[in-house]
Every structure is written in C-alpha cells, then in structure tokens.
Chains A and B, each alone.
Chain A
Amino acid sequence: MKGPLARLYLLELRRIWTVAAAFIPLGLMLLSALMFFTTGKFSKTYDVARFATSINISSVIPLASILFGVAMIAADVKDGWLRTLLIRPVSRQSYLIIKMAAVFTSVVFTMVIAGILPNVIVSLFFVKGEVVFDLGRVLAVHGVFLLQAALIISILALLSCWLPGVFNVVVLAFWYICASSISAYIQAFHAMDKWLTIMKDFLFPDGFSKSVDAINAGMGTPVADLAWGFGALAAVLALAFWSITKIQVDKGSE
C-alpha cells in the first residue's frame, strides 16, 4: 500500500495493535472456545450458524468493537495526534473513514480468531451429536455480523467525537439499558402502536440483530429488519460525519 491515505491506514492499524491489544482476540478466543466446546460436547444438535450468532452478537463483536474503538476520536484529540495530522491536506472525513476502517479491520480479525475459528474446530472435532452446517445461512449471518460491527463502531465514533475516554462506554451502556427497558415496556403494553414500535427500533438500533434471528429461524431474507439496520447505520454515520466537522481539534488552555 503506497498512497498517503493507505499509509495512514496502516499507521492507524499499527497504533491499535500494541502488544497489549493482542490479548483481546486471544482472550476472547479462549472464552468462546470454552463456550463452543461446552455447548458442542453436550448438545444433541450443533447448529454452526446459531452458535456463531450466540457468541458473536452477544460478546465478540460488542467487546472487540468497544475495546478497539473506545474514544477513537477523543483519544486522538487528547494526545495531539489529530492536530499533527490535520495540519496536512487531509480532510476530517477522510480521517474518520480511515480511523473507522482500522477499527473495523481489527474487529473483523478478532471475529475470525475468536468467533469463527473455534466454532469451525469444535464443529469438526468435538461434537458428539449431529452437526448442522447450512453454508448459505452461515455466510448470511456472518455478513450481518459485519454490518452489526460497522453499526457499533459508527456509534462509538459518533460518541467519541463529543465525549472523552471511557464515558463513551458508560453512555453506550446507559443508552442500551434505557432502550431495553423502554423497548420491553412498549412490547408489553403498546405492541400494536406503529409509531412507538418505530421509535423503539431507533432507540437502540437492533435491525441487524433481528435480521440474524430471522435468518436463523429460516424466515428467508429479512428485508424489513435489514432496512431498519441500514437506516440506523446511515443515520449514525451521517451524525458522525457531521460531528467530525464540528469538533474543535484543540480544546485550548486558559
């Protein structure tokens, strides 16, 4: 890779992949291998796509995204990297794309190491019962995982434009808890109310999670759920790209 932006992307990857960062995929791999192995050992039926979903959606993707992407912009403002970079003819939008691409690559790598490899190995060698391997479904759910990762990374990018460090995760967790509570309330009491349902889908954008559930349930292409997911992704990305043009690269000092 030779161009300036390609070099910047490689440098961003190098900045992410410190020695300590290598423990993230390894740690998650041990965790998921243990879960896959335990499940594979005692289940009568081992559905590769379903188990991939349970591990990736609930732990690997959110954890890897948060660990690699937390404060991705705020940290660069704080340590002066953004200042030293934006003095060059690099647009803020290009910087944001490269930053998110580097985090996304790291999350995908982690997903391969921690979410795919143990699943394949366990399904090949350690399952006593029947192995269900529907290639189309496996590829489809993994495709949606990538979109889910893109969505979480975009949310983190948006938050880190405005909030410092670990506050991103706190706000994300608070948002998730509130949205889940409101979502449960709406489902329990106002399930038929169209506008409340739409609001729920945007409170915590879960279109992609619901798409994976629909694929695993054999309901065909979940067009409506995917549309919600893409809608949320587009909205969050638009906000992130607007935010990056508004933030002050330097907070100044009195």
Chain B
Amino acid sequence: MEARPAAVQAENISKTYNPRSKNAVFALKEVGFKVEQGEIVGLIGPNGAGKSTLLRILLGFLNADGGGKVSILGDHPESLAARKQIGYQADSHFRSNTVSTRAFLELHALLAGNPAPKEEVDGILKHFNLTNAAGRKLSALSKGMRQKIELAVAFVGSPKVVFLDEPTASMDPPSVFELREYLTQQKAKGTTVFFSSHNLTEVENVCDRVLFILDGSLIAEHSLAGTPPGFLEESFRKHLVERKGS
C-alpha cells in the first residue's frame, strides 16, 4: 500500500532578504519539518523569528533560497492540485470598499469548487457570528471582524490543509473560544491545521505538536500530548534562556 503523503513537508528552507546587500537579513536557516495529515501543529516564536516568512514560503508566496523544497500533500504548493486542498487565513486584512463580506466568501467558495456556494457561506457566516456583517463592505468592518472573515475564508471549500497566521491576534475572547471549538471540530473531520501564534495558551489548548522557531532556526519540537498546563510557557522561557546563553 502506498504511504499517505505528509500534509506539509519542508526540507532545507533558507531565506535571506537583500542577499547581495551589506545589510542582508537571514530570516530562515535550513528549516525542515513534516506535518502529518490530521495533525494540528503550532509554530511559535518571538517577533521577527521567521514565522510569517516560513508560512509564506510554505504557501509558495515567497521564494526560498535555492536548495529548499516544500510540498503540500505531495504536490508543489503553487500547483493547482495543492491549491484545491489548501485554506489560508492571511494577515493582510484585505480591505475593499466595493466588495461585501458575502460576495468575498462566495467568490472563495466558487473558486474552491462549490458551484452553489450560498448554503456553505450561510453556514460559515453563522458559525463565525458574521451574519450581521454579510452585506457590509469589507472596508467598513473593524480589524477584528476582518480577521474573522479571513479566518472564515480559510475554511471555505472544506480544505484538507489549513494555514493560519496569528489567527487570534485581534480577536476578542468569545471569538477565540469559538475558534478553539471550530478547530476541534475540524480536527475530528481530519483537517490538518498549521498555525503560527504568539498565544501560548491557545497553542497549548489546540495543538498536537508545536515547533519553536528562533532567529530563523527551528530549535525544538514538542508533542503536547499529556503535558501539564503551562508546559509551553516554561519550555518557551527555557529555550529563550538557552539561546541567549549560547
């Protein structure tokens, strides 16, 4: 029997901004990891550690330096085959004074392959408590609301692999609880979720596994099964101290 491809596989990913300049920034250094299908994996690290850069390379939005390789369910992230399986919550908070929330979500559902998206969009709007915002233009919504819409977009089309970039950054506590519940439901359905976050409690509550990134390098990886509350914070501090010491 053929082995299932990993949901996400990254090998030897490096990224240097302004490589020919004196001020070259080494954002990622030989990062490699694997996320199996159905896992929820968190990526944590301080500001500027390389989380967003890594996420964007995984999605094919940003080119890694030569030699690195990324695959999503065995395909190149920019291939249409991979795109059919991916959901992404951007941190761009796209604004438009001509596009409504419903039109935006319906477009994503159509592009994801649902020819009659109304029902799916109604369900998602209801689940994320966005029904009142359905007819409003994206530019008229608050930052937190736009983030919820981006989050809703990530799950439109029932993707197999979902990437979330700081999903709870601008959210109020009730929305964070809703997201936690939603991710648990998605996990039960077998959806793979890979998300970057600063919110250690959230990561601890939701993830099966966590990757620590610091100064562009993956420095540790922990399974969270059976760990006591506060484990992540303690580990995070420990890794920071170790890094400073070295």
A interface residues with partner B (beta carbon < 8 Å)? 2-4, 7-8, 11, 14-15, 17-18, 79-81, 83-91, 248-254
Cross-chain contact A89 with B61 (CB below 8 angstroms): no
Listed residue (A17, A18, A84) with the most chain B CB atoms within 10 angstroms of its CB = A84
A82 to chain B: closest residue by CB: B61
Cross-chain contact A14 with B99 (CB below 8 angstroms): yes
Listed residue (A15, A79, A87, A251) with the most chain B CB atoms within 10 angstroms of its CB = A87
User: Is B153 in the interface zone, CB < 8 Å from A?
Assistant: yes
A85 to chain B: closest residue by CB: B111
Cross-chain contact B96 with A15 (CB below 8 angstroms): yes
Name the A residues within 8 Å of B143 (CB-CB): none
Cross-chain contact B153 with A84 (CB below 8 angstroms): yes
Listed residue (A7, A83, A89, A91) with the most chain B CB atoms within 10 angstroms of its CB = A89
Cross-chain contact B59 with A80 (CB below 8 angstroms): no
| Contact-size category for B | 35 or more
Contact A87:B59 (CB < 8 A) given known A11-B103, A252-B27? yes
Question: Which B1-42 residues have C-beta < 8 A from chain A?
Answer: 15, 17-18, 25, 27
The listed residue (A83, A89, A249) touching B84 by CB distance below 8 A is: A89
Question: Which B42-89 residues have C-beta < 8 A from chain A?
Answer: 48, 52-53, 56, 59-63, 80, 83-84, 86-88
Cross-chain contact A252 with B111 (CB below 8 angstroms): no
Name the A residues within 8 Å of B52 (CB-CB): 252-253
A-B contacts at CB below 8 angstroms, number: 90
Q: 8 closest A-B pairs (Cβ-Cβ)?
A: A80-B92, A88-B111, A250-B61, A4-B110, A89-B83, A249-B61, A87-B88, A254-B25
B83 to chain A: closest residue by CB: A89
Q: What are 25 pairs between A and B in contact, CB < 8 Å?
A: A3-B110, A4-B110, A4-B111, A7-B110, A8-B111, A11-B99, A80-B92, A84-B92, A84-B108, A84-B150, A84-B153, A87-B83, A87-B86, A87-B87, A87-B88, A88-B83, A88-B157, A248-B63, A249-B60, A250-B62, A251-B62, A252-B15, A252-B53, A253-B52, A254-B17
Cross-chain contact B62 with A248 (CB below 8 angstroms): yes
Cβ distance A169 to chain B, nearest Cβ, rounded Å: 23
B interface residues with partner A (beta carbon < 8 Å)? 15, 17-18, 25, 27, 48, 52-53, 56, 59-63, 80, 83-84, 86-88, 90, 92-99, 103, 106-108, 110-113, 115, 150, 153, 157
Cross-chain contact B107 with A89 (CB below 8 angstroms): no
Cross-chain contact B90 with A83 (CB below 8 angstroms): yes
Listed residue (A90, A251, A253, A254) with the most chain B CB atoms within 10 angstroms of its CB = A254
